[in-house]
Structure 1
Amino acid sequence: MFYSITTKSCQLSNLAVRSAKRLKTFWDVRRSYATPTRFVTPAQHYELNKIRNIGISAHIDSGKTTVTERILYYTGRISEMHEVKGKDNVGATMDSMELERQRGITIQSAATYTVWKDYNINIIDTPGHVDFTVEVERALRVLDGAVLVLCSVGGVQSQTMTVNRQMKRYGVPCVAFINKLDRLAANPLRVAGQLKAKLGHNAALLHLPIGLESDFAGLVDVVEKRAIYFDGDFGETIRYGEVPKDMVEQTEEYHQRLVEHVSNVDETLGEIFLEERKPTVDELKAAIRRATLKREFTPVFLGSALKNKGVQPLLDGVIDYMPNPSEINNYAYDDDQEQVEEDGEERKKLLMSPERSGKHPFCGLAFKLEAGKFGQLTYVRVYQGMLKKGENIYNTRTGRKVKVSRLARMHANQMEDVNEVYAGDICALFGVDCASGDSFVTKKDLKISMESIFVPDPVISMSIKPKDPLDIEKFSKAVARFTKEDPTFTLYYDTDNKETIANGMGELHLEIYSQRMEREYGCPVVMGKPKVSFRESIVSPCEFDYLHKKQSGGSGQFGRVIGVLEPLPPHENTRVQFVDETVGTNIPKQFVSHIEKGFRKACEKGWLCGQKISGVRFRLQDGQSHIVDSNEISFILAAEGAMRQTFEDGAWHVLEPIMSVEVTAPSEFQGTVMGQLNRRKGLIVGTDENEGWFVVAAEVPLNNMFGFSSELRSLTQGKGEFAMEYSRYTPAPQDTQQELMTIHQESLGQGQQQQAKKKKN
């Protein structure tokens, strides 16, 4: 708003003129900051074929967030591009958290939506670090397709394999984007070969690079046999031209390879190939799409997001080859089948209808939670029907009714209100109290639930407490929020050591949450020495016959259990199983569930070193009951006693988590790094060397990996990097087992002394 400055004499002094100019300049500057981006919020498309739900996934530092930033710029969603590291004090749009901009990594998955060539594209940018793998899990659970980003130098790395397994778990079709072709030692052909060899993809290049490293100038489209150049200051102008003469033969060769790869998995193109007829561009694209949707083929695109090359063809590929919501079958379980479950049959699956109308009842899945200062923000994928602002929805798990007071679509950390959402949309509800994985419907009598999200078990523990004891209230609020948002971050109180223990997926995971507590809640915390989640297991089968008997006037307690406790196979040693093999009425069936309850309760803490018991099967074969004295508590205590009996009579050992570790560093440091891994009792399982860099894969006990990050940096002059993920549990060495037993005995002794002091006082 501008104000005119007038005087009675209609003459302004020089001072007044300068003041007026300054005032106008001030408002011009303010207005320039408030100028909206060139993106106009699009109307939602009602045609299902005009919608794409995709995720950007990759190994850490492969360029996921940079790719997303370029996508938002080229589609007009943002008016300026910023770098991930935040050197200009702005940072990438999708890294809205201050910690993300400082560290240059993605910590939380972020959702946005944009429009490209009249197609609505919902995008979720996911973290690359293994510590935040649950963010990738829940994103892939609700997405229809994914873009797998690979570094043209690093290639297929450890987290790439993890993401690939997650895509396979949820049946998500994907396209690959080999990024960073401008980097020194870039080799996209080698990376495409790794897609086939390491990940087992039937992959073929849809692009060829025109030059590499500093000479990278553009791409050759193998499908349409034309060159693509990216002109303008930010590569926003696409220019097509003829294929360079020195690449004509190579283009023909890779075009033929592409046809062969696709014809092997697509009948229609296979018939054309057998007829020795050249497919048209439309026929080839249609075949690639069909094969990609069936997860039988992976199209490979090339580019350099940082240098603004190759992103627009990738967007075209998302539209051409990624599925729309109607091409993916999504199912819900029928929860109104109590009798069926009692009979041992599987729950019925119901196919969700993706029609964008109010004809079918609404069904949505809450896949991500964010708690803010004004309440909980719940990300929901709509699978069926339509939801309007102001409607009532029901949580099928709790039966609780909630009114949708605010409905929004997300753009990173910004909410944009909408009045209604339809099947295939990803939206956010404000102020809805629920848990991650809950299903919502608008009809109360519709008892269905979507398949929930796989949550990996935490592998590392550290003691945690507020630095200032007066901050306990802030600490409690932070813990309540973070544990609700992230199911892999858990806390419990250790009664033996009298300390709070935080569990997570790695040192970085717990470090990030400790920093967030200080920044967001003003509660600095002290983290103790990391503790590894060891397990206890039995070595060989051990029989038990335990009688629990107690008489103290009136009805007493009586319960006898007979059976075998045996180890599970190595690939199942993180689970516990209960098997009822009883015949007859020696143990009434209503008490079997209580025997299982007692067994599982005993498995929460072992007697060898105080760790959880896993990898055991409790086979209940016989027992005895009393018509008066037998009750639920009798058989719970009998099962616990039977477990103690197997500990005294059987042979037990400790299991420790083994991590798959992948180290990348310059070749000159290979001997030093491998020596360091051997010193940490690591088993080298493979090495690879390429143009001055080497990659070594090893399996190392997690207990020996603490401090490796700083040690690797010092050994490799800051050039080395590593990633690790949980692999399996194996028996711990004898010295580790003895050390754990000693610590446990000492803690028990201290606990007994403290109890004795309390009794005296």
Structure 2
Amino acid sequence: MTVAAESATHKGPDPVAEAARRRTFAVISHPDAGKSTLTEALALHAAAIASAGAVHGKGERRGVVSDWMEMERARGISITSAALRIDYDGHVLNLLDTPGHADFSEDTYRVLAAVDCAIMLLDSAKGLEPQTLKLFEVCRARRVPVITFVNKWDRPGREPLELLDEIEQRIGLRPTPLNWPVGIAGDFRGLIERPGGAYTKLERTPGGATRAREETLNAQQAARAEGPAWAQAGEELELLAEIGADYDQASFLAGASSPVLFGAALPNFGVAALLRTLIALAPAPSAQPDAGGRPRPVQAPFSGLVFKMQANMDKAHRDRMAFVRVCSGRFERGMVLTHAATGRPFATKYSQAVFGSQRHTIDTAYPGDVIALVNAAALRVGDTLYAGPKVEFAPIPSFAPEHFAVARATDAGRHKQFRRGIDQLDTEGVIQVLSSEVRGDQAPVLAAVGPLQFDVVAHRMAHEFRAPIELAHLDYSIARRTDAASAPALHALPGAEVLTRRSDHALLALIHNKWRLRVIQRDNPDLTTAPLLAGGLETQD
């Protein structure tokens, strides 16, 4: 009997019951809203780590476990998504930390294809920022329910009612606060639970490296301790009750409302309440629609979606890992799956659970879990793996690039390393690689959503693949999908260039700017210049 057949008849835990114990969610935000700090604070409160740290920590504070790349630690920003598995209160939390910078939004989009819920992090002083708005629109398009966490309440900021009004007015999401701060932003005293009115007074720990100390007070004790701040919070709560800003589960799951919590991730204030909310309210994994729109029940035979590729996480191994969201069934290490794109068998002898850059062997996994399959050179982002009857999930589309550069190896003697590195980064989705018969194999065109992606490519090519590159930027800002019939005529037009297919087989026409595009479309209405779409969202004018 094959390993796959054995796993199919194995009497293990019920996938439906195991799925009910899991919460798979992403943290999304604008840069500098405190996303990676919140990720560490959640891990700290779930006792997954002993001490939390900021990216640029001081003293004994460590670097965040989710920011594991050298560039992330040097620049203090998240460049790539990271997965963390946390066991908490009888549940399994699969937390996916995402890049906040707009230049890496395509990576965030891929992560949102693998989660059931998102935490939208807002800076108390800045509110909804441009990248937050874009990411929320992706959540809306993918029907991912959103929990809002207003961060940095320990620093000067805006009025809480003003922030709630901004959420409702700008994104049409009805905010329903689950707790309320006592003390204005910058003078954070504690949190009142809604409903019920229980008050938790918070006390900062040295450096915020350990869990914040909490003290529960009754109304009389809180009034004596907090004075006017308590009275003001009470008045604001009465206003919330009058306008009916009460939580409704159906509205939350439908994407019409968002439960709101207040806190401060750096000193670990309000993080425990966020964890409890995730357990109580965030949806558990459920049936996922396949490429034809048919739901795949969680109790069906194993199926999984590849949403991320990553190489060289461990310098000692230099391996390639595929991150797979388990969509249905029970995964067992060693089972032989089928790669939907090719129909070929795929062995899973080396399967791991990850916690930032740390990893360990995992023997079983259930719907909602994220598993990392090692040495997965045959897989690409958006691929489906399955056992039993064939199933294939919808592929994850690529974003429309807006920045382009020709890459060349600075050392012609390292051409093999150059091609290996470029192909690997293309597979991971770090950059889109466009081939061109005119430019040749030694000068591929790199296409990016944002210019910081080029910095990542240059750094990784030099330090991971030992093949430093030079980049010559091209004067294009628009990419359009075309076809073989239109390509020759488009390529001959001034201000345009057609490149042969990228990894998703799209034939792209690069155009200088939107004004040149309009002229081409006006003068050549029969030529195909279709916009590139991502999940129903047009990413380019």
- Find the counterpart in structure 1 of residue 216 from structure 2: 240
Q: Give 1:612 deviation, angstroms.
A: 4.6
The answer to whether 1:330 aligns with 2:288 is: yes
User: Helix, strand or coil: the match of 1:299?
Assistant: strand
Q: Give 1:609 deviation, angstroms.
A: 2.6
- Find the counterpart in structure 2 of residue 435 from structure 1: 380
Distance 2:179 2:489 in 1: 55
Distance 1:421 1:187, change over 3 A: same
- CA deviation profile, 1:415-460 (whole Å, cap 9, x unmatched): 22121212232211122321111111122xx222112213211110
CA contact (8 A) 2:27 2:119 kept: yes
User: Helix, strand or coil: the match of 2:23?
Assistant: strand
- Find the counterpart in structure 2 of residue 301 from structure 1: 261
Q: Give 1:207 deviation, angstroms.
A: 2.3
Select the residue among 367, 374, 390 that pairs with 2:334. 390
Structure with the bigger RCO (C-alpha within 8 Å, sep 6+) is: 2
Distance 1:223 1:472, change over 3 A: same
Distance 1:294 1:650, change over 3 A: closer
Q: Which one-letter code corresponds to 2:398 in the other structure? A: V
User: Helix, strand or coil: the match of 2:392?
Assistant: strand
CA contact (8 A) 1:262 1:291 kept: no
Q: Give 1:262 deviation, angstroms.
A: 5.7
- Find the counterpart in structure 2 of residue 177 from structure 1: 149
- Find the counterpart in structure 2 of residue 48 from structure 1: 19
The answer to whether 1:475 aligns with 2:431 is: no
- Find the counterpart in structure 2 of residue 369 from structure 1: 309
Distance 1:649 1:466, change over 3 A: closer
User: Helix, strand or coil: the match of 1:605?
Assistant: helix
The answer to whether 1:65 aligns with 2:9 is: no
CA contact (8 A) 1:57 1:126 kept: yes
Q: Give 1:86 deviation, angstroms.
A: 4.7
User: Helix, strand or coil: the match of 1:599?
Assistant: coil
- CA deviation profile, 1:466-492 (whole Å, cap 9, x unmatched): 222223222212111101001643243
Select the residue among 366, 369, 372 that pairs with 1:422. 366
CA contact (8 A) 2:382 2:396 kept: yes
Q: Which one-letter code corresponds to 2:457 in the other structure? A: Y
Distance 1:83 1:365, change over 3 A: same
- Find the counterpart in structure 1 of residue 523 from structure 2: 651
Distance 2:18 2:153 in 1: 36
Q: Give 1:393 deviation, angstroms.
A: 0.5
Paired residue total: 484
Aligned-pair identity (%): 24
Select the residue among 310, 320, 338 that pairs with 2:280. 320
Q: Give 1:651 deviation, angstroms.
A: 2.6
Distance 2:430 2:109 in 1: 11
Instruction: Let me know the Cα RMSD of the aligned residues.
Output: 3.1
Q: Which has the larger radius of gyration?
A: 1
- Find the counterpart in structure 1 of residue 396 from structure 2: 453
CA contact (8 A) 1:45 1:51 kept: no
- CA deviation profile, 1:345-388 (whole Å, cap 9, x unmatched): xx4x3321123xxxx32111111111234432111111111121
- Find the counterpart in structure 2 of residue 515 from structure 1: 459
Q: Give 1:534 deviation, angstroms.
A: 4.0
Q: Give 1:226 deviation, angstroms.
A: 2.1
Q: Give 1:406 deviation, angstroms.
A: 1.7
User: Helix, strand or coil: the match of 2:216?
Assistant: strand
Q: Give 1:192 deviation, angstroms.
A: 1.9
Distance 2:150 2:489 in 1: 47
TM-score by length of structure 1 reads 0.59
CA contact (8 A) 1:455 1:488 kept: no
- Find the counterpart in structure 1 of residue 248 from structure 2: 288
Distance 1:424 1:534 in 2: 37
Distance 2:520 2:16 in 1: 67
CA contact (8 A) 1:126 1:139 kept: yes
Distance 2:238 2:65 in 1: 37
Distance 1:600 1:178, change over 3 A: same
Q: Give 1:249 deviation, angstroms.
A: 6.7
Q: Give 1:499 deviation, angstroms.
A: 4.3
1:193-342 correspondence to structure 2 within 5 Å: 193-231=165-203, 233=205, 234-243=210-219, 244-245=222-223, 246=228, 247-248=230-231, 250-251=233-234, 253-254=236-237, 257=240, 261=244, 288-326=248-286, 329-333=287-291
CA contact (8 A) 2:461 2:468 kept: yes
- Find the counterpart in structure 2 of residue 623 from structure 1: none
User: Helix, strand or coil: the match of 2:414?
Assistant: helix
- Find the counterpart in structure 2 of residue 599 from structure 1: 485
1:100-119 correspondence to structure 2 within 5 Å: 100-119=72-91
Q: Which moved more, 1:130-139 or 1:522-531?
A: 522-531
Distance 1:503 1:322, change over 3 A: same
- Structure 1 unmatched runs, 5+: 1-43, 264-286, 334-346, 536-573, 577-596, 614-646, 657-724, 730-761
1:631-646 correspondence to structure 2 within 5 Å: none
The answer to whether 1:403 aligns with 2:347 is: yes
Distance 1:192 1:49 in 2: 31
- Find the counterpart in structure 2 of residue 270 from structure 1: none
TM-score by length of structure 2 reads 0.82
CA contact (8 A) 1:202 1:261 kept: no
User: Helix, strand or coil: the match of 1:510?
Assistant: helix
Write 1 or 2 for the structure with the bigger share of helix: 1
Q: Give 1:603 deviation, angstroms.
A: 6.3
User: Helix, strand or coil: the match of 2:290?
Assistant: strand
Distance 1:187 1:253 in 2: 11
Distance 1:223 1:454 in 2: 42
Q: Which one-letter code corresponds to 1:70 in the other structure? A: A
User: Helix, strand or coil: the match of 1:512?
Assistant: helix
Distance 1:235 1:86, change over 3 A: closer
